[in-house]
């Protein structure tokens, strides 16, 4: 069995939870995924089966599309709603026009500092492990590519964004930095990945489908040309 399976990851599952479900439903065939989603996020996880695992890096390098809800009323220790929230007093909430203008500041090749609670390594150790132990985590900024940000909805304190970006972009960091630019709080309240390259939610199966029906050749998409 060789090919790609696009799965709509449910809330609370890790990407590896999805891989284990797919592997079991496909009869134990070698399976990997082309890009991690945090348990807080839902949406597209591209699973690569059999010889298609050689395409993981190629697919991970493609642009991604996310729908994100950013809560501007508080900071978070993890830059998302799973952390300890620190509410911010905002006497006059920003207007929709001000939020849209602030979003434009982050379009292009930009420097972005990953969240302290991330899988980045600091001195050989995962940053999130150090942060959970109460240690100060200092991560260097990296260049990431954000191709477009659309403000698709805004009712204080939540800004809903559609973000088109390249590999390595942290939407949690974008939420945090958007709050800094606006002089408000900023953390990621919800995240859904709708596309990885040409692979979209329209092609996705659910984990329930994998459990109840299994995975067959008919479910798989062909490997991309290399």
Model confidence pLDDT, tens digit, residues 147-158: 999 999 999 999
pLDDT average, residue stretch 63-77: 97
Domain hosting residue 23, numbered range: 3-62+197-219
pLDDT band at 131 (very low <50, low <70, confident <90, very high): low
The domain total for the chain is 2
Catalytic residue selected from 8, 38, 71, 80: 38
Do 70 and 161 fall into the same domain?
Answer: yes
**Among candidate residues 61, 115, 119, 43, the one with its CA nearest the CA of residue 83:** 115
Domain annotation covers residue 125:
yes
Give me the mean pLDDT over the 103-124 stretch: 81
Are 88 and 166 in the same domain? yes
What pLDDT is recorded for position 36? 87
pTM: 0.92
Same domain, 13 and 116: no
Top pLDDT among 131 and 163 is at 163
**Residues 96 and 151: beta-carbon distance below 8 Å:** yes
* 224 domain-assigned: no
State yes or no: pLDDT of 130 exceeds 60.
no
Give catalytic status of residue 38 as yes or no: yes
Question: Do 180 and 208 belong together in one domain?
Answer: no
pLDDT average, residue stretch 89-116? 95
For helices 171-182 and 96-104, give the axis angle rounded to 10 degrees: 120
């Amino acid at each position: 069995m060789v090919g790609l399976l696009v799965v709509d990851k449910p809330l609370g599952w890790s990407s590896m939870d999805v891989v284990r479900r797919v592997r079991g439903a496909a009869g134990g065939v070698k399976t990997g995924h082309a890009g991690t989603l945090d348990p807080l996020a839902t949406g597209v996880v591209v699973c690569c089966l059999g010889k298609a695992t050689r395409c993981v890096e190629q697919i991970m390098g493609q642009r991604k599309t996310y729908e994100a809800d950013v809560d501007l009323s508080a900071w978070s220790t993890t830059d998302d709603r799973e952390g300890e929230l620190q509410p911010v007093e905002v006497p006059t909430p920003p207007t929709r026009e001000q939020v849209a203008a602030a979003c434009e500041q982050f379009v292009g090749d930009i420097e972005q500092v990953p969240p302290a609670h991330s899988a980045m390594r600091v001195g050989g150790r995962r940053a999130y492990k150090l942060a959970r132990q109460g240690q100060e985590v200092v991560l260097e900024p990296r260049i990431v590519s954000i191709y477009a940000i659309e403000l698709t909805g805004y009712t204080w304190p939540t800004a809903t964004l559609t973000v088109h970006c390249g590999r390595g972009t942290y939407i949690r960091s974008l939420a945090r930095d958007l709050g800094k630019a606006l002089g408000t709080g900023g953390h990621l309240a919800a995240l859904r990945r709708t596309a990885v390259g040409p692979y979209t939610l329209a092609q996705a199966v659910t984990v329930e489908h994998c459990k109840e029906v299994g995975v067959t050749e008919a479910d798989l998409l062909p490997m991309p040309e290399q």
